[in-house]
Structure 1
């Protein structure tokens, strides 16, 4: 009935499975050739503005989160489910039938059946041979008829479900990835020492996301090799709920802090300007921690002055978007040219993607070269002339990667199921053995044979051992 349904017939097709797998393989190759989730400037520099826009529209810059890739994964999931159900219908009675029908001729006519003649009566042979089968096989039954008797043994029916367990594991892996893609996020945030925030910026889109708790950087420690290269950087983080600390942990690369399904990884770090550290770090920063930026609208010609701090986004007037100050770099380089101390930020236009902005402190009109609807310039910073600051220890900010993947539990379950399914599929088998006893005039004819759905060589060895025991019994 179901196979006559065009929808069912389409999704039950093995050809569809091949097409989907080849499509996923081809797109995955494209995903390795085109770097994923890079900054727009990197793509524009590599491919040009037109090709960047084309690749962005086609979803090839964040391929694994694109609608068409997720659609292929959904089609593959439906295809696997339908194929599994269709094939399980034919195996269901064989696997779960409590009273299987035994056909002696299926065994006695096999070319590899072993035969012997015995002078004992059929009933006597049943009493001798039945314990041999019962010892090896969980299910054993004796069927008597006018011509003699049949001793039937069977085990490993459930091993036929191994392939369906593998199918289920693949479905769990795909669904876990889709759940993480739809309901999870990957974001980043920079937090100066002693400060806290609950706002992170989503990767790629640049959209702001507010967490249900705050992350505070209590301390940052940097260890260097003798040649000056970073050896280890460690952040002491505290999770705050309602202003009260609930969890504290030191994190390093590949050793994240996990809280309420959120993973916080150590990703990067940076040093704050020297004058910004002229006073001890405190959870509540003062005016010296801020920069004064000018935002000039090209359409109206109006300039707006705003005070910004690292990690705290500000809205630009006239609906020109948002600006997030990412950090400070003492010796910035722009297209191979040293520009000195500079601020790094992200500008997110309305409905657009975040653009990285470099603001050298010595060149007020530097951002005019970028283009766009707004020009940003630094008009006040700790490095600009002002009162002399007292020497102080360097103060850093920590760069954190913040992720949430609600589908990771399904993925782990899928891996466990796949290991179990592969073990059942490759190491267990459905074995059936039958001893056919036929009455003759003065003797009884004994026929021994067995069948299995896989590993036939092992089954032949089992038959040889049973037959050797029978000849001695």
Structure 2
């Protein structure tokens, strides 16, 4: 995990190895939020993190794994807790040592009466005595949430988006069509345009002014070969 100066978690990472059917590693990558692993059409995302267990030594015995559970508190900050029973565990009013953690850096401990007794870092090997019980925090075991996604239709979707953007750009291009129909000595000119329709008649007149007229003089025959 990466931490802010305030101690809050800023980023969490997971070291992933992909193995084939023979157990051979084919790919390894450390992923984080917004940096997934992609292989063979499958994308593996880092989605969340938590603390699954707390490993402790009790009076020199162990280590024991105590399951950590998420606790509901006001706000969006994470808080995990566990409970180590002390004395008769079958008693309806069993008491014990409470341990709380917001991350993997430090564990806060409370005695049987719920009073604060101290803070210990995992792997510090520094014992703490609580109501005659010596506790050593060996390790905080983290867990992560992974989201696997596969979608073979993604290339088709992207191709569709690309075609849509291309046709949208083409629609902004102006194009016009003009045609002519000759009926005897009469020539009919027509046309259409997809844009600038108000200016199109003027453009059409300018174009027609460039077309030369052929006028046959009286008594003179005109032969056209084509």
TM-score, reference length from structure 1 = 0.28
Residue correspondence of structure 1 range 80-229 to structure 2 within 5 A: 222-229=1-8
Unaligned runs of 5+ in 2: 91-108, 110-132, 214-226
CA distance in 2 between partners of 1:274 and 1:238 (Å) = 25
The alignment status of 1:333 with 2:79, answered yes or no, reads no
The alignment status of 1:434 with 2:179, answered yes or no, reads yes
The alignment status of 1:421 with 2:167, answered yes or no, reads yes
**Which secondary structure state, in structure 1, belongs to the residue aligned with residue 55 of structure 2?**
helix
In structure 2, relative to structure 1, the CA distance for the partners of 1:335 and 1:439 (3 Å cut) is: closer
Equivalenced residue count is 162
Residue 267 (structure 1) aligns with: 47
More helix by share: 1
Residue 397 (structure 1) aligns with: 143
Residue 103 (structure 1) aligns with: none
CA distance in 2 between partners of 1:230 and 1:462 (Å) = 67
> Aligned-pair distance for 1:251?
1.4
The alignment status of 1:450 with 2:195, answered yes or no, reads no
Q: Deviations over 1:429-463 (max 9, x none)?
A: 5x4312456776xxxx76543124x3234644542
Residue correspondence of structure 1 range 16-27 to structure 2 within 5 A: none
CA distance in 2 between partners of 1:464 and 1:394 (Å) = 85
CA distance in 2 between partners of 1:288 and 1:465 (Å) = 95
CA distance in 1 between partners of 2:184 and 2:174 (Å) = 36
CA distance in 2 between partners of 1:361 and 1:404 (Å) = 43
In structure 2, relative to structure 1, the CA distance for the partners of 1:465 and 1:230 (3 Å cut) is: farther
Residue 140 (structure 1) aligns with: none
Q: Is the 8 A contact 1:275 1:389 kept in 2?
A: no
CA distance in 2 between partners of 1:412 and 1:263 (Å) = 17
Residue correspondence of structure 1 range 340-359 to structure 2 within 5 A: 341-342=81-82
> Aligned-pair distance for 1:272?
4.2
Q: Is the 8 A contact 2:53 2:65 kept in 1?
A: no
Residue correspondence of structure 1 range 46-85 to structure 2 within 5 A: none
**Which secondary structure state, in structure 1, belongs to the residue aligned with residue 210 of structure 2?**
helix
CA distance in 2 between partners of 1:253 and 1:264 (Å) = 10
CA distance in 1 between partners of 2:63 and 2:54 (Å) = 11
**Which secondary structure state, in structure 2, belongs to the residue aligned with residue 427 of structure 1?**
coil
Residue 59 (structure 1) aligns with: none
> Aligned-pair distance for 1:254?
1.4
Residue 13 (structure 2) aligns with: 234
Give me the CA root mean square deviation.
4.4
> Aligned-pair distance for 1:247?
0.7
